[in-house]
Chains A and B, each alone.
Chain A
Amino acid sequence: MVGLNERVMSHHTIEVENLSFRYPDGRLALDDVSLTVAPDEKVALVGPNGSGKSTLLLHLNGVLRSPTGTIRLGGLPLNDRNLGQIRAWVGLVFQNPDDQLFSPRVYQDVAFGPLHMGLPEAEVRARVERALAVVGMGDYAERVSFHLSVGEKKRIAIATVLSMEPKILVLDEPSAGLDPRARRHLIALLRDLKQQTMLISTHDMRLAAELCARAVVLDGGRVVAEGPTEHILNDADLLERHGLEKPF
């Protein structure tokens, strides 16, 4: 079983095919979206507010489910049977760290994922320590998350999924609400995470340019453009048309 999983995970791709999603109120949020992210690739998902970016990301570890279209993560189709496994592989970092951090203390939040996976205690402790060290928040384990700054919360939020040692990281607007220094820290942090496939939804064109070689433009629930980030970010017309702007 372990052998099988490792073989499957040897390519941690994100594959989305013909995904459509309608909210219960009838609004079409995703309209026939297809998207592939290769192993260890970092892809930026850009688009205006309400374009369906967050909705797409919520599908990637089964928080939202749609009857139309298929999603495969690390080669494994997303279905009821694989849901637990996929949630362990895919670390989803929400836009608002207040949503991500639901425990009173930092330590409890970072330990939640590994504890839920049923890992032995020593392993959980080691992972929490490693995850907090990676985001540079090693001294914060016993702090009350409620009192941290937004930048600190953001890093803790990333630690809460790193402790699960995910193969795929999905980040929703990671730089939203950060001051320039916290933003620089975040970009450096994400750049140093080389073991993970990443899909980053953002309005921050410079972050996209710095981190991602490829970008996908989503608008009105459809993929309207896709290509090397450099090309996309230099196409002023395209960006203008879809509510974005050139970074420089």
Chain B
Amino acid sequence: MNFSLQERYRAGDSLLHRLDPRIKVVVTLVLIVGIVMTPSAAWPAYALLWVLLGGLALLGRLGFWRLARTAGLALPFSLAAATLMFTTPGNEVLRVFGLVVSDAGLARFAAVLLKSWLAVQAALLLAMTTPFTDLLWALASLRLPQTLVAIIGLMYRYLFTLRDEAERLMRARAARSGSAANHRSGGSLGWRARVAGGMVGSLFLRSYERSERVYAAMLARGYTGRMRALDPPPLRWQAVVLGGVPLAALAIIQLLAARWWA
């Protein structure tokens, strides 16, 4: 069984790893918003944005191409935008099953693909250079509501437990997936779907029950709905300056895009 659910953090000691997580969170958010707001036909801007992200990846010793490849994992989700090809008015370039693909539509779709790929790279940069616990206190000290931070933290903690649980269920199913001579094994599609449905149901029930046990254990240790944490270290001006560098690059790219490529 192979789940692509794994810890993204890559231990390291680069400048990017050492940068204050609060700065990294803010810079990442601004980068993502900037990427999304790029005018859709500003093709040179995408190339420059990629260079910017790739440069950061090199700075974090993560590998330019590896980051690009890993971000590709999220591309299937942007297929949801495929309808743009057919719905945007423009000149016909292609017909698929009687549906007209317009040039403007194709360009918009390509822009969506590029933007989501770049935005995922930005998010990965953050996830790969920041331990999850650091992200949590960074989010908390950026005034994200405590409850939300607690939910994110618990979700992350139990995501892997849930994955293991699912893995064990599938292992149990595999162990009893036998065949007998003279019989066609495997069962019908409908039956297999019902079995899988039952497994999803079991998984839900167990997670639900585990959540109650976990909550009871938290109450038993004095949980009152607030996660107490140590005070975060003071923000240093060097970190702010460093965080400003990619943002300045982003601003320049956006200015160029707005001035010449839009």
B-contacting residues of A (Cβ < 8 Å)? 1-2, 5, 58, 61, 63, 84-89, 91-92, 94, 96, 98-104, 108, 112-113, 115-119, 146, 160-161, 164
Contacts and interface: CB of A to CB of B under 8 A. Distances in A.
A116 B186 contact: yes
A83 to B, nearest CB: 8
A96 to B, nearest CB: 8
Interface string B185-207: 11100010001001101100110
A76 to B, nearest CB: 12
A51 B135 CA distance: 37
A92 B195 contact: no
A2 B202 contact: no
Contacts of B171: 58, 63, 94, 99
A85 B179 contact: yes
Contacts of A91: 176
B183 A161 contact: no
Contacts of A89: 178
Given A87-B179, A117-B179, 16 more contacts: A63-B171, A63-B175, A84-B177, A84-B179, A85-B179, A91-B176, A92-B176, A94-B168, A94-B175, A102-B199, A103-B195, A103-B198, A104-B202, A116-B186, A118-B183, A118-B184
Given A85-B178, A103-B195, A118 B173 contact: no
Contacts of A99: 168-169, 171-172
A58 B205 CA distance: 26
B185 A116 contact: yes
A15 B201 CA distance: 38
A99 B177 CA distance: 15
A92 B175 CA distance: 7
B181 A85 contact: yes
B241 interface: no
